[in-house]
Amino acid sequence: MSSPGSTTTRRRRAGVLLHPSSLPGPHGIGDLGPAARRFADFLAGAGQAVWQVLPLAPTGYGDSPYQALSAFAGNPLLLSLDDLCAEGWLARDELAAPPFPAGEVDYARAGPWKARLLARAAERFAARAGAREREELAAFREREAAWLGDAALYLALKDRHRGDPWFAWEPPLARREPGALSTARRELAAEIDAQVFSQWMFDRQWQRLREHARAGGVALMGDLPIYLAHDSAEVWARPALFCLDGAGRPLVVAGVPPDYFSATGQLWGNPLHDWAAQAADGYRFWIERMRHDLRLFDEVRLDHFRGFEAYWEVPAGATTAEGGRWVEGPGAALFEALGEALGPLPLVAENLGVITPGVEALRRRFGFPGMAILQFAFGNDPQADSFKPHNYQRDLVAYTGTHDNDTVEGWWASRAGTASIRSEEDIARERAHALAYLAADGREMAWTLLRAVQASVAELAMAPAQDLLGLGSEARMNTPATASGNWRWRLAERDLTPELGERARRLAELYGRAGGRVSSNQ
């Protein structure tokens, strides 16, 4: 995409959505190491120009990357143990893993097992690192000082409190009384240093992966959530920027009104931004967040863009999102501040949900491409007509589905009551409409939708890896409005066959989307 806010060269492209946790490997969860580099190579060979990921932050409640423990930190569980071995911080025989299940992330067992190995690697660094390595770590500390100290202390304290949220800690720590913080930093110095080491390693491994992908013509697209988890380093460290009471409890929380996924809306529960407080210092916090993400990614999907124009405010303590109200967001003032501080913004606006003319006016004012979800084009979604390819505009990212959708094959086989509010009559009409519109016979519907988005005028056509593989509901990544069982799917190394890559390349070439160079935003 290109726009007044973008540095990305305008051309037709295709890409794949896959979070690193879904990569194959023996250590219970995908990581940023050899399998990630092989996946980037697969994309390059398949003519795909974009690899989109979910937020890379350490996951909190429900293992969700959208309920992260920090807006800035990388998830240590995504660190490659193989790469740590290659650098000498772990021994190869230490990587003998317990028998993790195939096909899904085992958060419960992989987390503690990897944490012990990362602690061991940090201890070895502290004991053995040379002058050059210590200088590089010191430079990282200095460059990331705006967030790193608070995040490392928070993560160390969270471990000491056995995972309890910061608002359940002793009041002096929860309130960040200077004396309590000073004592904690002294008592947890080694643990804090280990957290800093992990973040440095994460940055090194991510940048190595990014360089590898770029060498093959593959750009990396990140995902910046609008909201932060209540139990996060930044809400703990900067409570004045959020709508909290004097005890740190949310006064109001985030969500969305009733929608396709839930008749009672989605109650996310995140504390809302105090936009007046953030405007008072020129949106410094958002400038820090955006600068950080633009250092990691070539492009960034801005999650829940709708909330910047107006957001759904739900009273704290509500059990559903039905009783919320719309409240005016920061609007153009935020994006003007970001542009002035950072220059062109290569953003994609996730403009889904209850979209008003005001939301679209804000998006167009700053030239951010929007999104269209082809799966939503044939049913009762209020935006259904805009999701049909004949209504697409060029400055658009068209998806077969997203991480919140069922897979295409799962959607096609679904029945009433399965992760949406559709009735059997709705489903029958939706299928008939899709078959007629797509001139399809009901077979290989994932590739039928993939062909439709790639044939469209949208400059970027995206598909989750599950759709490229033609998988069913068993491979679904997330079911909105559910608290458990999500974010677990993993592909197998054998899935990425030369035949699949060749088929994807032929389709991308057919519609003028294959390959190309990556432009830098730095």
Average pLDDT over residues 390-394: 96
One-letter identity of residue 226: I
- Domain containing residue 259: 238-368
- Summarised one tens digit per residue, pLDDT across range 334-346 is 999 999 999 999 9
Q: How confident is the model at residue 522 (pLDDT cuts 50, 70, 90)?
A: very low
Using CA atoms, how far residue 374 sits from 237, 388, 398, 456, in Å, is 41, 6, 7, 11
Asked whether residue 265 is domain-assigned, the answer is: yes
Is residue 440 over pLDDT 90?
yes
Q: How confident is the model at residue 149 (pLDDT cuts 50, 70, 90)?
A: very high
Average pLDDT over residues 366-372: 97
Q: CA 180, CA 213: separation in Å to the nearest integer?
A: 44
Read off the tokens for 405: 């959708």
Asked whether residue 424 is domain-assigned, the answer is: no
- Summarised one tens digit per residue, pLDDT across range 220-274 is 999 999 999 999 999 999 999 999 999 999 999 999 988 766 788 889 999 999 9
Q: Report yes or no: 286 and 278 within 8 Å, Cβ to Cβ.
A: yes
Asked whether residue 360 is domain-assigned, the answer is: yes
One-letter identity of residue 196: V
Asked whether residue 247 is domain-assigned, the answer is: yes
Asked whether residue 179 is domain-assigned, the answer is: no
Q: What is the 3-state secondary structure (H, E, C) of 231-296?
A: CCHHHHHCHHHECECCCCCECEEEEECCCCCCCCCEEEEEECECHHHHHHCCCHHHHHHHHHHHHH
Report which of 501, 375, 488, 352 is spatially closest to residue 437, judged by C-alpha positions.
375
Collapsing DSSP to helix, strand or coil, 232 comes out as: coil
Asked whether residue 290 is domain-assigned, the answer is: yes
- Give the model's pLDDT for residue 435: 97
Query: Which residues are 370's β-sheet partners?
Result: 396
Q: Report yes or no: 453 and 399 within 8 Å, Cβ to Cβ.
A: yes
> Which residues carry out catalysis?
303, 350, 404
- Give the model's pLDDT for residue 75: 98
Q: How confident is the model at residue 381 (pLDDT cuts 50, 70, 90)?
A: confident
- Summarised one tens digit per residue, pLDDT across range 449-476 is 999 999 999 999 999 999 999 999 999 9
The residue with greater pLDDT, 4 or 261, is 261
Q: What percent of the chain has pLDDT over 90?
A: 87
Return the number of other C-beta atoms located less than 10 Å from residue 16's C-beta.
Answer: 22
Domain tally, the chain: 1
DSSP annotation of 27 reads S
CA dihedral for 2, 42, 66, 312, sign (positive or negative):
positive
Read off the tokens for 129: 């690192």
Among the ranges given (3-17, 197-211, 269-283, 447-461), the one the predictor scored with the smallest mean pLDDT? 3-17
Q: How confident is the model at residue 214 (pLDDT cuts 50, 70, 90)?
A: very high
Average pLDDT value for the chain: 94
- Give the model's pLDDT for residue 350: 96
Asked whether residue 346 is domain-assigned, the answer is: yes
- The phi, psi pair for 86, rounded to 5°, reads -60, -30
Asked whether residue 362 is domain-assigned, the answer is: yes
